[in-house]
Amino acid sequence: MNSRREFLAFLAASPLALGADDVIKSPKDALDIMDFEEPARRAIPIAHWAYMATGVDDDATLRANREGLTRLKLRPRRLVDVSKTDCSIELFGTKWPSPVYISACGSQKAFHADGELGTARAAKAKNAAQMLSTVSSTSVEDVAAALGRPPWYQMYAPRQWDGVEHMVHRVEAAGCTVLFLTVDVNPGRNTETQRRLSKADTRNCTVCHGAAGPGSRHTPMFEGIEGGMNSQSMTWDFVDRLRKLTKMKLLIKGIDTHEDATLAVEHGVDGMVVSNHGGRAMDSDRATINVLPEVIDAVRGRVPVLVDSGFRRGSDVFKALALGATAVGIGRPYLWGLGAFGQAGVERVLDIFHAEVLLTMRQCGTRSVSEITREYVQV
């Protein structure tokens, strides 16, 4: 038995615990982010849960992200006055109270009727950055209205160039100033766990929401755009073209090697996200926390480096900051909050991350993000 969670699962299965149900009934009951997973699983239709939970192939990258983070240890310094601690960061001229941002996750109405609007209202309440997915179930205009500012926009590139222009001009008109081009699913992927779990859902999806994907009424960002997205033939030439097309800050999401980090800077991007799509792109990838140092070293501070995939604790976030990340994205944690309790769940997830980041900072003897350096982790 190697984890507290496994131990709790063991206890729950024992006759001593028969009848006990410690699944939280309200966001305020949550002691940690993982407390939202089970109520979300119970609230969400199994096929939609499968879409959220899945990795690819054997889900090895999904597990590697967590293993990488738990293996890395902290080096706390004692007897530092940590009575005033601030974890705010600045990115592209905006100050955010927390380094944790909401990463792009598609089709959020599959998890709660409020979908991306519930997430946006929570992000507004907590002053958190929200990245909106191309395959959002709500338009960028409506999300911007609920958020009170334009979101960051994540692009799965339409296959035809005129579709790219159409989408970019639309998000510019909505006021977006930061664009993330996701590149890690271009080759295709095998979401085997999703397909296995979905078999248990015998309902006919098309009755409820039609075919998902570009062109469907559930992907409003594809309105007026023909053809699919995420071309297997995309290369750095596409990045050059996109760079010329827009003045928005352009970041690449899905960088996993120092070679590509160097190329990204050479091609004029404004930043990048070290990400393996939460273990959903390819298997046998490394934990992003293990990729981060080589990317940071290659980038040499020229542009901000963000990271996501597997972050569940404030201490995880602290480790990424220590290795040089500017901000940390979360996916499933806020989807669990949304699925279980809507906006209030997302708010509580953000609050717990914030409190845990501050606690880890105090425990390590750091008072601001700029004080969190590599000396605080055992690499």
Ligand X SMILES: Cc1cc2nc3c(=O)[nH]c(=O)nc-3n(C[C@H](O)[C@H](O)[C@H](O)COP(=O)(O)O)c2cc1C
- Tally Cβ neighbours within 10 Å of residue 180: 29
Residues 158-187 contacting ligand X, CB under 6 A: 182
Residue from 159, 189, 253, 348 in contact with ligand X (CB under 6 A)? 253
- Here the tokens at position 309 are 């995939």
Task: List the Cα angle 228/46/107 in 5-degree steps.
Answer: 35
Q: Which of residues 105-124 bind ligand X (CB under 6 A)?
A: 105-106
Virtual torsion, Cα 234, 235, 237, 243, nearest 10 deg: 80
Q: Which of 101, 311, 341, 376 binds ligand X (CB under 6 A)?
A: 311
Q: State the nearest-atom distance from the C-beta of 52 to ligand X, in Å.
A: 4
> Interface residues for ligand X in 53-82 (CB under 6 A)?
none
Residue 331 near ligand X by CB under 6 A: yes
- Contact call for residue 324 and ligand X (CB under 6 A): no
Which of 222/311 has CB closer to ligand X? 311
Footprint on residues 189-218 left by ligand X (CB under 6 A): none
Query: What H or E segment, with its residue span, contains residue 249?
Result: strand 249-255
The residue count for binding ligand X (CB under 6 A) is 25
Is-catalytic flag, 277?
yes
Task: Cite the DSSP H helix spans in 20-147.
Answer: 37-43, 46-53, 60-71, 115-126, 140-147
Q: How far is the CB of 254 from ligand X (least distance, A)?
A: 7
Does 319 help bind ligand X (rule: CB under 6 A)? no
With binding defined as CB under 6 A, does residue 316 bind ligand X? no
- Residue closer to ligand X by CB (options 309, 360) is 309
Q: Does 308 bind ligand X (CB under 6 A)?
A: yes
330 binding ligand X? (CB under 6 A): yes
Backbone angles phi, psi at 217, to 5 degrees: -70, -5
**Cα atoms found within 13 Å of the Cα of residue 54, Cβ hemisphere only:** 22
**Among the residue ranges 80-88, 115-123, 197-205, 327-335, the one whose residues contact ligand X (CB under 6 A):** 327-335
* Angle, helix 288-299 to helix 60-71, in steps of 10 degrees: 70
Q: Which of residues 268-287 bind ligand X (CB under 6 A)?
A: 275, 277-278, 280
Q: How far apart are the first and last CA of the chain?
A: 26
Residue keyed to tokens 């940071």: 296
Pairing of strands 94-96, 89-91: antiparallel
The one-character DSSP state at 130 is B
The catalytically annotated residue of 48, 112, 218, 277 is 277
> What is the Cα–Cα distance from 61 to 305, expressed in whole angstroms?
21
Site track 17-56 with ligand X (rule: CB under 6 A), x = hit: ----------------------------------xx----
Select the residue interacting with ligand X from 126, 170, 332, 348 (CB under 6 A).
Answer: 332
Of the candidate residues 104, 146, 248, 291, the single one contacting ligand X (CB under 6 A): 104
Q: How far is the CB of 315 from ligand X (least distance, A)?
A: 15
Query: Which residue in 114, 157, 116, 150 sits closest to 134, CA to CA?
Result: 157
Nearer to ligand X, 27 or 310 (CB): 310
Q: Residue 374 and residue 245: Cα distance in Å, rounded?
A: 37
Using rule CB under 6 A, residue 135 touches ligand X: yes
Number of Cβ atoms within 10 Å of the Cβ of 301: 8
Nearest to 256 by CA among 52, 56, 53, 65: 65
Q: Is 99 in the site for ligand X (CB under 6 A)?
A: no
- Closest approach of ligand X to the CB of residue 88, in Å: 21
- Applying CB under 6 A, among 309, 315, 326, 343 the residue interacting with ligand X is 309
d(CA 93, CA 104): 21
Contact 373, 296 (CB under 8 A): no
Residue tagged 């409820």 (tokens):
208
CB of residue 262 to ligand X, shortest distance in Å? 22
- Catalytic residue numbers? 277
Tell me which residues touch ligand X (CB under 6 A): 51-52, 103-106, 133, 135, 154, 182, 253, 275, 277-278, 280, 308-311, 329-333, 335
